[in-house]
Structure 1
Amino acid sequence: MTNATRRGVLGLLSSGAALLAPAARAASETQVSATAADDACLLTPQSESGPYYLDPKLLRADIAEGRPGVPLALRLRVIEAGSCMAIAGARVDVWHCDARGIYSGYPGQSDSHKLDESGKTYLRGTQMADAAGWAGFRTIYPGWYPGRATHIHFRVFLDDATVLTGQTFFPEALNEFIYSNVPDYTGRPKQRLVINANDRVATEADADHKAYCAIKEERDHYLATLTLAVSRKPGAAVEMPTGKLPPVPWIKDRLAALVPGLKRNPF
């Protein structure tokens, strides 16, 4: 995405966010209050790593590798569950799909399942947490692929041992706006049927929304932040098995599922 295009997209998103009020902004504010206030030091829920994890051994903050999309800064803070003490030096891996729902490093990608991205490393990287526990990445807003809500994967290591495998989710009103209006994300042959409300990974692993990120609009990008509370206790890092969940429920009232506060049953 060129600088001119990036400015245009963020201008479009800014005006769209105003038009969507209280949709996108209410969703964002809800996530901010939920993340910053209560239960920040409770253990972050484990989730599945999914089928697309790999370690390309790339210690880097900029993971986009030129993939088109809305610029996103992702900041994750690693703390000790219970004590809330920052964990300096923790290794944080992240990986996610691009604007079209494609993962690097694997065959069978794209809506046709015929694109082979083996050997590629975009939208993957590792950072070591600083003295305050923060690890930051420069990337793009993730797209979607059939069967899953919008998400970014993360894995935290302490002393070379995995202590947390999880996923962070995004406000649905903002997802819907980006996927409907930004050219890098539009024109998909299939409808997006799975969102936060009926994604089994989100609802089964994180019913209390402890791993939903807070989103803030900056001048030329979005900023997503999340605190990851981990435990060093043996047996605490039990990852959710991949692909062991019940079928996705059908959403009958999409608007109720997308916009917080409507108090209507989406199912």
Structure 2
Amino acid sequence: MCAVLLHVATDGPNRSPTLPGFPDIAGFSLALASRRRALGLIAVSAGGGVFLPGIALAQQASPYAGLALFDSGAGVCAITPEATEGPFYFDPKLERADITEGKAGIGLNVRLQVVDAGCRPLAGARVDIWHCDAQGHYSGYPGQGDGQDVDTSGQSFLRGWQKADDSGIVSFATIYPGWYRGRTTHIHFKVFPNDNSVMSGQLFFPDSLSEQIFTTVAPYTDRSGKRDTLNARDGIARRAGPLSQAALREVADAYQALMIVAVKAD
């Protein structure tokens, strides 16, 4: 087992092209102002833009420019409990950067940096991620969907793993995850820093952005029903806390979700 320290970081404001089928959203960044300040909600303006009320913005030249990123003072890496692995994990033995397998949705680049308790990059650490598609279905399992009649056995979409590079970074091309009953929008990840340790975590997204996507963009709008669980009502998200919220920005024709995961192995 591992204790997990999470630090959320991002570049400064970065304008990029509008996503097809999605309102024009100004580039934005999220950063941790202090260990006691929550990231808060992204508010959607009447004009369709997105702004961040009352949140201090960090302007790093690059979130992964070097270890100076951790020199912003005490409490930057806050210890956070592990999040449950959930019932839908399996190892498809697919080492790959693009995990979409043709699944439709808004493009998302998930970029994680794995470091040790001293904030040094863990080159070679294995990172697995997996999440549901726009309809709320995971690959590889029967009995899914509101009617428990969806069977994706034998499929492996939206799953994969990589080994961290010399900077401790992994980068996955995927889509913005959908939702299913009883859970807020999230992505699962597992980190294997060595042969003796493993940790499980989850990455969460701003409810207001998820709501905008789910109610205005196909194929998310093809999902029947209305989601019943937001971040504040999801027990796993509440226990994980604000440091498990994704730092988001627009890059090219997709979103990018950034997180630094510091792992203290036993």
Aligned to 2:7: none
Aligned to 1:127: 162
**Residue 191 in 1 paired to residue 217 in 2?**
no
Go from structure 1 to structure 2 and tell me whether the alpha carbon gap of 1:64 and 1:9 turns closer, same or farther (over 3 Å shift). Answer: farther
Could you say what secondary structure the match of 2:24 adopts? helix
Go from structure 1 to structure 2 and tell me whether the alpha carbon gap of 1:46 and 1:213 turns closer, same or farther (over 3 Å shift). Answer: same
**Residue 25 in 1 paired to residue 34 in 2?**
no
Could you say what secondary structure the match of 2:211 adopts? helix
Q: Within 1, Cα distance between the matches of 2:188 and 2:55?
A: 21
Question: How far 1:104 sits from its partner (Å)?
Answer: 0.1
Aligned to 2:4: none
Gaps of 5+ in 2: 1-16, 28-42, 64-68
* Residue identity in the other structure for 1:41: C
Aligned to 1:230: 263
Question: How far 1:26 sits from its partner (Å)?
Answer: 1.6
Could you say what secondary structure the match of 1:175 adopts? helix
Go from structure 1 to structure 2 and tell me whether the alpha carbon gap of 1:141 and 1:210 turns closer, same or farther (over 3 Å shift). Answer: same
Query: How many positions carry a matched residue from both structures?
Result: 222
Could you say what secondary structure the match of 1:226 adopts? strand
Aligned to 2:153: 118
Go from structure 1 to structure 2 and tell me whether the alpha carbon gap of 1:120 and 1:137 turns closer, same or farther (over 3 Å shift). Answer: same
Question: How far 1:12 sits from its partner (Å)?
Answer: 4.0
Go from structure 1 to structure 2 and tell me whether the alpha carbon gap of 1:104 and 1:223 turns closer, same or farther (over 3 Å shift). Answer: same
Q: Within 1, Cα distance between the matches of 2:187 and 2:197?
A: 17
Aligned residues of 1:44 and 1:228 also touching (Cα < 8 A) = no
Aligned residues of 2:95 and 2:160 also touching (Cα < 8 A) = yes
Aligned residues of 1:214 and 1:225 also touching (Cα < 8 A) = yes
Task: Give the number of the structure whose residues are more often helix, by fraction.
Answer: 1
Aligned residues of 1:44 and 1:230 also touching (Cα < 8 A) = no
Structure 1 residue corresponding to 2:82, chosen from 46, 54, 62: 46
Question: How far 1:112 sits from its partner (Å)?
Answer: 2.2
Within 5 A, what are the aligned runs for 1:76-155? 76-81=112-117, 83-155=118-190
Q: Within 2, Cα distance between the matches of 1:125 and 1:118?
A: 16
Go from structure 1 to structure 2 and tell me whether the alpha carbon gap of 1:164 and 1:107 turns closer, same or farther (over 3 Å shift). Answer: same
Go from structure 1 to structure 2 and tell me whether the alpha carbon gap of 1:108 and 1:169 turns closer, same or farther (over 3 Å shift). Answer: same
Task: Give the number of the structure whose residues are more often strand, by fraction.
Answer: 2
Aligned residues of 1:155 and 1:162 also touching (Cα < 8 A) = no
Gaps of 5+ in 1: 1-7, 234-267
Q: Within 2, Cα distance between the matches of 1:200 and 1:213?
A: 17
Q: Within 1, Cα distance between the matches of 2:25 and 2:194?
A: 45
Aligned residues of 1:31 and 1:215 also touching (Cα < 8 A) = no
**Residue 10 in 1 paired to residue 19 in 2?**
yes
Could you say what secondary structure the match of 1:176 adopts? helix
Aligned residues of 1:45 and 1:211 also touching (Cα < 8 A) = no
Question: How far 1:107 sits from its partner (Å)?
Answer: 0.2
Question: How far 1:206 sits from its partner (Å)?
Answer: 1.4
Q: Within 1, Cα distance between the matches of 2:152 and 2:219?
A: 19
Could you say what secondary structure the match of 2:51 adopts? helix
CA deviation digits over 1:44-82, x for unaligned, max 9?
A: 43010110000011100000000010010000110112x
Aligned to 2:35: none
Aligned to 1:72: 108
- What's the RMSD between the two structures over aligned residues? 2.7
| Percentage of matched positions with identical amino acids | 44
Structure 1 residue corresponding to 2:244, chosen from 205, 208, 211: 211
Go from structure 1 to structure 2 and tell me whether the alpha carbon gap of 1:39 and 1:12 turns closer, same or farther (over 3 Å shift). Answer: farther
Question: How far 1:30 sits from its partner (Å)?
Answer: 4.9
